[in-house]
Amino acid sequence: MNGITANAIKVEHLTKNYGNFTLRDVNLCLPTGSIMGLVGENGAGKTTLFKLIMNVLERDEGEICVLGHDNLSPQFGELKNDIGVVLSGAGLPEYLTPTQVNGVLRQTFRGWNESYFYQLLADFKLPESKTIKKFSTGMKMKLAIATALSHNPRLLLLDEPTSGLDPMVREDILAVFNDFTRNPAHSILISSHIVSDLEKICDYIAFLHEGRLMFCEEKDRLLEDYALIKMPSAEFAAVPPGAVVSLRREAYGIEALVKKHEIHPSFATEHTTLEDIILFLSKGGGTQ
């Protein structure tokens, strides 16, 4: 079960009808050795996708391959030892202490690394003997991350792992994730509402909007392909319509997300961030 595959995750034509929500025809690949950020508003389908990958939810259509195996195959049960998971809303039993968590999980995971677990507890400033129910939200999240990292996984599935953490702690945890993927056999799929965090560490970005995958691209290519322009409304007619991805009408004029390579160099453009791109695509006012 330790062979390295080209893709840690491969999802093809995935569809799931879930109450009043439908995840529609999702296709994405997470190359082994990389970090993919999953972004989207609340209710876009991020947590649903994580649950489908782990086979917590049963898919309606499509295929999901994880670490080289279909997640419906008999081998997938054994592969779960190689996957570290932090799912939104799913926590450890609150009557346990971290020391007791260690005792349980070293019997559960064949690759459990007790010394690394206690090192992470110290790094995250988590008390070993306090029950989890006395932990703050941020402390519970740090403990979940510590347990996900401590059984020698090859793949991390992290649903909002930095939620509830202050900026300094988030920086420390992002550094831990970066260190994890220095091993070329290790990969991460991570969702976050803090898009700036994803921009710091991710190689790929997948954007879910209302159950549809809007894009799954290399982060650097996204930042290279798009730019912002701001100008009075009267001047905006000179911008080629095919270059405009989305625009907003402001008091001073128009702000638009454009395809950088379709804009003449005479137009003054501004560098765009990943957050700019996501906001324009999800909340922009349309095109010309």
Residue 137 sits in the same domain as residue 245: no
Distance CA 285, CA 288 (A): 9
Write down the pTM of the prediction.
0.90
What is the per-residue pLDDT for 138? Answer: 85
Residue 161 sits in the same domain as residue 238: no
Final residue belonging to a domain, choices 151, 186, 210? 210
Domain boundaries, position 156? 7-210
Give the pLDDT mean for 132-139. Answer: 91
Asked if pLDDT for residue 283 goes beyond 80, the answer is no
Residue 168 sits in the same domain as residue 40: yes
Distance CA 204, CA 198 (A): 9
Averaged pLDDT score across all residues of the chain:
90
CATH code: domain of residue 73: 3.40.50.300
Final residue belonging to a domain, choices 160, 185, 210? 210
Contact 142, 169 (CB under 8 A): yes
Residue 279 lies in a domain: yes
Residue 181 sits in the same domain as residue 276: no
What is the per-residue pLDDT for 143? Answer: 94
* Stretch among 182-191, 217-226, 248-257 having the lowest mean pLDDT: 248-257
pLDDT single digits (tens) 1-25: 456 779 999 999 999 998 889 999 9
Looking at the structure of the chain, the number of domains it has is 2
> What's the alpha-carbon Rg for the chain, to the nearest Å?
21
Residue 216 lies in a domain: no
